[in-house]
Structure formats: structure tokens, C-alpha cells
Amino acid sequence: MTDIPTYYTWNNQAFEPIEQPSAERILVADSWRVRGGVTWGLADHIHRFVTGLQARNAPSEVLIAAELETFEVALRRLLYAQWSKAQEDLFPRISLHQDRGRWRIELVVRPAPQPRDTTSLWIPPYTDPRAYATIKGPDISLMRGLVAEVAADDIVLHDGTFVHEATTGALMVWHSVDHLVLSQASRQLASISVRRIADYARSQGITVTTQPVTLEELVTRKAPVWFSNTLHGISPVTTIGSATGETQVAAHPDVAQWQAAWWADFADDLGHVRPMR
């Protein structure tokens, strides 16, 4: 075992160990699961991180640093080394910070929680409070605080009528075993896990559509609902609660096979993305 979490800063050549930094506002972030020393699709996470840097108007030298091949190579090697010592799943996070005019990229390597086999949701009376709904990072503390206030795994973010997503992941609804509906909203983070699931579904001959999903549909349609992110993978929703009561959500008959296919893709020890089996 090794002592984690551990902290690093990127010096344009390598990740340099640092002491735990003081709590500062995160401008942009990305995070994922490392299993068996492997990150599935690390380039996808770096791309989303860079897109966030651009949206936050990070200076060109920060953008160039994050886009360098050496950044991905160094990150992959460090995470493998940390996993080799820990021999447990990891949950790293890269983030952008600014302190007195100085921009820097930080990395924290943390132990990962166990994958959440199922998810419970809560629909709050308030609408989506995020300031930066399409950028991962700035609202992390806010989202964490909201979830801590309820007896559920995640909160449904919405505009009063339509579903946006959950506080830490995406939501999708199965209209039938042959028709998967992805929730469409303008206030939504680009989801790496949803793209993988949709690609796999199409490869299996399943119809995939992207359309607005209402809160009423989420609760009353009696259709299977899935939560997903790259930390927990596919996590079927079992209950959806609100001030008016709790709804039991229908189960998808093949969810176990889908979950097994998701986790099987960590077997690629080169870290390249393969289609889900």
C-alpha cells in the first residue's frame, strides 16, 4: 500500500509532488476510475479538460501544456505506478487553479469508492443551481453539498419541467429493450460514459435517440432509468424520490450483461478505447 491521496502539479515536463494544497476554487476539472492500472480512454478525459480550459479562457501556455503528448504519457505512467503500489482502484482528478495571477494544473490521486451497482435519485423542488453547467469543475463543491443534504445517491438537476442530468452523472431512459433515450438539455456536461453506452447500443442494433426527458416521464413512465459516469459505469436507478413520495423504477432485464461489458473494457492494459463487448 502507499499513502494516498497524493498531490502533484504539472511543471510542463512532469508531475511534481507537492504538499496538500489549500482549498481553492476549482476552475476546470476532470476525473475517472483507474482499474488494474488502466484508464479507459484517458485521451477522452484530457480532451474534455482542454475544452473546459478553453471555455474558462485559460492562457495559451496552459492549453499547450495540457495538449502535449508528454502530459498524457506522464499522467498514464504516474497513475500506473500509483496503482502498482496501492493495488486498488484509484480516482484521480486533474484540475485548473489560479492563485494571484498564476495558473497551474494540479493532480490528486485518491482511492476510488466501490462501483455503485444501483443508484437512488432525489428530485429537489429547486431548479438546476449550477453556474457552469457545461464545464466540469467549478460547481463540484456545490453539487457535493446538495447531495449531502438528502437520503439518496444523487440529485436530479432540472429546470422545473425537463431533466438535465444528475449531480455526478448522466441519465438515460429505456423506452423498450430496443430503444434507448438519452436525455437532451442545453445545461448539460458532455458525457464520456453516455457516448460509450450509445455507441455500444447501436452496435447491438438498438435504436438510440437524444431528446428532452420530462420529470413526469422519469417518474411515471415505469421505464428503466440508468445513471452513468466513468467512476461507477452503468448504475441502474432503483428509486426516485421527491417531496411527494418515492417511485420504484423498473429494472432492465439485461443490465448485468451491460455492466459486465463495461468493466471488461478495463482489460486493455495499453489504455486504448475498445468498443464494449
Q: Quick check: is 10 in a domain? A: yes
149 plus 91 within the same structural domain? no
Domain boundary, last residue among 54, 81, 109: 109
State the pLDDT at residue 67.
Answer: 87
Strand bridging mode 170-176 / 93-99: unpaired
Quick one: cell of 137? 469543475
178 plus 77 within the same structural domain? no
Domain boundary, last residue among 78, 109, 140: 109
Quick one: cell of 72? 498524457
Partnered with residue 104 across adjacent β-strands are: 97
135 plus 262 within the same structural domain? yes
Q: Are 232 and 169 in contact (CB under 8 A)?
A: yes
Distance in angstroms (rounded) separating the CA atoms of residues 249 and 85 = 40
35 plus 88 within the same structural domain? yes
Quick one: cell of 171? 441519465
Q: Quick check: is 198 in a domain? A: yes
The tally of domains found in the chain comes to 2
Structural domain of residue 70, as residue ranges? Answer: 6-109
Q: Quick check: is 273 in a domain? A: no
Distance in angstroms (rounded) separating the CA atoms of residues 251 and 176 = 11
pTM score above 0.75: yes
Q: Quick check: is 253 in a domain? A: yes
Domain boundary, last residue among 109, 140, 162: 109
105 plus 123 within the same structural domain? no
Q: Quick check: is 274 in a domain? A: no
Q: What is the CATH number of the domain that holds 79?
A: 3.30.470.10
Q: Quick check: is 15 in a domain? A: yes
89 plus 148 within the same structural domain? no
State the pLDDT at residue 221.
Answer: 80
Full pLDDT tens readout for the chain, 277 residues = 457 799 999 998 899 999 998 777 899 999 999 999 988 899 999 999 999 999 999 999 898 888 888 999 999 999 999 999 999 999 999 999 998 788 999 999 999 999 999 999 999 999 999 999 999 999 999 999 999 999 999 999 999 999 999 999 999 999 999 999 999 999 999 999 999 999 999 999 999 999 999 999 999 888 999 999 999 999 999 999 999 999 999 999 999 999 999 998 766 433 443 444 3
Distance in angstroms (rounded) separating the CA atoms of residues 128 and 159 = 6
96 plus 123 within the same structural domain? no
40 plus 152 within the same structural domain? no
Nearest alpha-carbon partner for 175 in 135, 111, 225: 225
Q: What is the CATH number of the domain that holds 248?
A: 3.20.10.10
Q: Quick check: is 197 in a domain? A: yes
State the pLDDT at residue 277.
Answer: 37
133 plus 202 within the same structural domain? yes
Q: Quick check: is 104 in a domain? A: yes
79: enclosing H helix or E strand: helix 69-86
Residue 68 exposure: Cα atoms within 13 Å on the Cβ side: 15
100 plus 126 within the same structural domain? no
